């Protein structure tokens, strides 16, 4: 019987496994890098073991150190979570060889499906349709053989770019999974990504637990998942479930796993891969089937038997992944302190978070803050409730994809179930925000600030000079100057003739706007100000009235868009002519590579980068100037 579990992972999935272990009376052990020494999963565990270093290759990908940690802490079982070593057969063998219980499938099953190339050959031999491509079948998708989560994946539309993109995919795969093998498959422009959850015991029972639609993706990484998949008829559902069950039986699978398919626009399914682990999106299946997949994983690992048939599904569940990233700036990951994270209480709402208030989101790992899940009787209600929960969330301190998630959940095509992996590309950029709404939020921030220094009442015209407060909206950088006049009876704000102050305090300002009462919550963290209200959430930086002079930056300077590590530099030298869009160097941040390219035609006049150098956001990496410019 399992008494103590070490989770060979971090963040949200470690906390989620710990939650079930606590419910079952099982002790928990965490491992952590130096960067994660104060992380939420470390604080929650009964014991924690340090893995020296920050990079995944030195910490969470070191199976030898993790096995030693389990033995030292007295754990008798290891749960791999997802990512890192979760699909590494040699790690599973090392755990078993150390006398520990491996909470996962047999190493041989991991090995059979762990390489996407070998898995395709196995499935083709079993009669399951697979996608195959050569370098001339453009467009193609370059994929990491050992991984998932969108890492090590590139779309190539031109033959000339294939070699470069394969090199980039290999480098990213090696960093994320410790294996640089990549392969090609046809890139299906308008297909759907549908997967089937399987669960098998060691006594011959294999469950298929519905299918999930995971088509809404950015950079080939899932953003919104749901079950049941909308628009899947009985025949296609039967085909998918039978193929998934056949795949599990073909390799003697036990435990939880997922068989993934690409369904073409004409409804034909093709096997993509089998993930021999728990999926990020497993909560939607748990909600609809009323089960705890981690508890079932533990039971199977202890030799337990599953009932002959799974529970019957009920209702609909949708999951949205909340990331610290800026969709408007090519999904750039964000770093910093998560000042506050709250969601409203709501029936059917579940939040699996990797961070709590005050935690720092660093550069070394994935940028996902939390998964927000809603289970409801119908799909329409689940979508509406999830969008409403995200709109009412309080997420302070970081730029996130929250507004994008709400847009998707309320989009008519999404609501109608017209889904494909190209969905986000077709969605297009968000419409510009209403400057008047942002000005109102800035006004609320200024009045909350003033309330600590003045007795505020109703509006009144007074002859005194106006006071000024300037805020910079984040992340777009637009500055808003608020001018108001203090008086015995209260304040008058310039430029807001249709606004009347009802009340103001440090944390809340109530305004009447064109006869409508609006309440704004204001939270201040030093110079950072978050304003939440009925017209949206806004982040500001309060600017000093007399800013200090700043050093001038040379024209044409390329600044680091995020903190990261320089991992590659193009074959260029100072003095070379470069064309607009030519890659100059690559940064790695949060396990993804980000290309820094020349912004315009010109001459490379400076290059301040070297492989292995860690840089902060705003660091000057290179300078490209027009020929003949000073």
* Kind plus residue range of the DSSP H or E element containing 24: none
Q: Measured between alpha carbons, how far is residue 559 from residues 276, 420, 538 in Å? A: 40, 35, 25
d(CA 447, CA 132): 62
Say if CB 471 and CB 542 are below 8 A apart: yes
Handedness of CA 448, 454, 459, 462 (dihedral sign): negative
Distances (CA, A) of 68 to 63, 72, 106: 9, 6, 21
Q: How far is CA 528 from CA 162, 338, 520, 522, 525, in A?
A: 44, 12, 16, 11, 5
Calculate the CA 159 to chain-centre distance. Answer: 31
**CA separation for the pair 1, 4 (Å, rounded):** 9
Measured between alpha carbons, how far is 232 from 241 in angstroms, rounded to an integer? 12
Phi, psi of 166 (to 5 degrees): -65, -40
Q: Is 422 helix (H, G, I), strand (E, B) or coil?
A: coil
Residue carrying structure tokens 């003949």: 628
How, if at all, do strands 602-607 and 620-625 pair?
A: antiparallel
CA–CA dist 331, 109 (Å, integer) = 35
Residues in the chain: 630
Token pair recorded at residue 301 = 């690992």
Q: Which residues contact 405 (CB under 8 A, 6 or more apart)?
A: 223, 224, 320, 322, 387, 390
From the candidates 212, 277, 339, 439, which is the catalytic residue?
277
Can you tell me the distance from the alpha carbon of 100 to that of 421, in angstroms, rounded to the nearest whole number?
40
Pairing outcome for strands 221-227 and 316-323:
antiparallel
N-to-C CA span, the chain = 74
Return the residue matching tokens 């993930």: 275
Burial 584-612 (b: 16+ CB within 10 A, else e): bbbbbbbbbbbbbbbeeebbbbbbbbeee
Helix, strand, coil share of the chain (percent; to 5): 25, 35, 40
What the block records as the tokens of 455 is 């007795």
Two tokens, residue 1:
């019987």
Annotate 393-419 with three-state secondary structure.
CEEECCCCCHHHHHHHHHCHHHHCCCC
Lookup: tokens for 151: 């890492």
**CB-side exposure of 54: number of CA atoms within 13 Å?**
12
Residue 350 annotated to the active site: no
Q: Are 227 and 288 a contacting pair, CB within 8 Å?
A: yes
CA angle, 223 then 226 then 232, to 5°: 120
What are the structure tokens assigned to 600, written together? 């315009």
Q: Which helix (H) or strand (E) holds 382?
A: helix 379-391
Query: Could you give the residue numbers annotated as active site?
Result: 277
């Amino acid at each position: 019987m399992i008494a103590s579990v070490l989770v060979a992972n971090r963040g949200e999935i470690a906390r989620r496994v710990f939650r079930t272990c606590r419910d079952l009376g099982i002790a928990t052990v965490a491992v952590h890098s130096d960067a994660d020494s104060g992380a939420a999963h470390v604080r929650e565990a009964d014991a924690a073991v340090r893995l020296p270093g920050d990079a995944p290759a030195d910490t969470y990908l070191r199976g030898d150190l993790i096995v030693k940690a389990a033995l030292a802490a007295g754990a008798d079982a290891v749960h791999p979570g997802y990512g890192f070593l979760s699909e590494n057969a040699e790690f599973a063998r090392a755990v078993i060889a150390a006398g520990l219980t491996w909470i996962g499938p047999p190493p041989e099953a991991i090995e059979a499906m762990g390489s996407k190339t070998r898995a395709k050959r196995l499935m083709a031999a079993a009669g399951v349709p697979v996608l195959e491509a050569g370098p001339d079948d453009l467009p193609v998708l370059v994929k990491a053989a050992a991984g998932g989560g969108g890492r090590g994946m590139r779309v190539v539309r031109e033959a000339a770019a294939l070699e470069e993109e394969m090199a980039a995919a290999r480098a990213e795969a090696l960093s994320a999974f410790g294996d640089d093998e990549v392969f090609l498959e046809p890139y299906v422009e308008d297909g759907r990504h549908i997967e089937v959850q399987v669960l098998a015991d060691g006594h011959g029972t294999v469950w298929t637990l519905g299918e999930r639609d995971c088509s809404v993706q950015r950079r080939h990484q899932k953003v919104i998942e749901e079950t049941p998949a909308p628009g899947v008829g009985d025949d296609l559902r039967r085909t998918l479930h039978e193929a998934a069950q056949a795949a599990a039986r073909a390799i003697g699978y036990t435990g939880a796993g997922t068989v993934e398919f690409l369904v073409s626009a004409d409804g034909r399914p093709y096997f993509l891969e089998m993930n021999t682990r728990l999926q990020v999106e497993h909560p939607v299946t748990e909600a609809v089937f009323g089960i705890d997949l981690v508890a079932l994983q533990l039971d199977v690992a202890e030799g337990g038997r599953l009932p002959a048939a799974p529970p019957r599904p009920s209702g609909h569940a949708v999951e949205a992944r909340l990331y610290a990233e800026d969709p408007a700036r090519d999904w750039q990951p964000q770093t910093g302190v998560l000042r506050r994270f709250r969601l409203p209480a709501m029936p059917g709402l579940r939040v699996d978070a990797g961070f709590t208030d005050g935690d720092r989101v660093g550069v070394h790992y994935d940028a996902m803050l939390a998964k927000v899940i809603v289970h409801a009787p119908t799909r329409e209600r689940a979508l509406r409730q999830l969008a409403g929960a995200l709109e009412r969330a309080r997420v302070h301190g970081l730029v996130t994809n929250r507004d994008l998630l709400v847009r998707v959940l309320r989009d008519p095509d999404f609501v109608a179930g017209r889904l494909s992996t190209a969905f986000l590309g077709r969605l297009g950029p968000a419409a510009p925000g209403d400057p008047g709404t942002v000005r109102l939020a800035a006004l609320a921030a200024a009045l909350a600030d003033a309330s600590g220094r003045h007795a505020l009442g109703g509006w009144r015209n007074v002859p005194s000079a106006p006071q000024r407060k300037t805020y910079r909206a984040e992340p777009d950088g637009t500055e808003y100057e608020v001018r108001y006049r203090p008086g015995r009876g209260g304040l008058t704000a310039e430029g807001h003739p249709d606004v009347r102050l009802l009340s103001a305090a440090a944390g809340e300002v109530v305004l009447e706007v064109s006869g409508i009462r609006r309440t704004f919550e204001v939270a201040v963290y030093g110079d950072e100000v978050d304003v939440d209200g009925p017209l949206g959430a806004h982040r500001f930086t309060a600017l000093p009235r007399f800013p200090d002079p700043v050093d001038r930056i040379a024209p044409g300077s390329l600044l680091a868009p995020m903190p990261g590590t320089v991992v590659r530099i193009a074959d260029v030298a100072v003095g070379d002519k470069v064309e607009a869009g030519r890659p100059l160097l690559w940064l790695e941040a949060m396990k993804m590579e980000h290309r820094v390219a020349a912004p315009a035609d010109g001459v490379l006049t400076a290059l301040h980068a070297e492989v292995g150098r860690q840089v902060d956001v705003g660091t000057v990496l290179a300078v490209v100037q027009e020929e003949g410019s000073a």
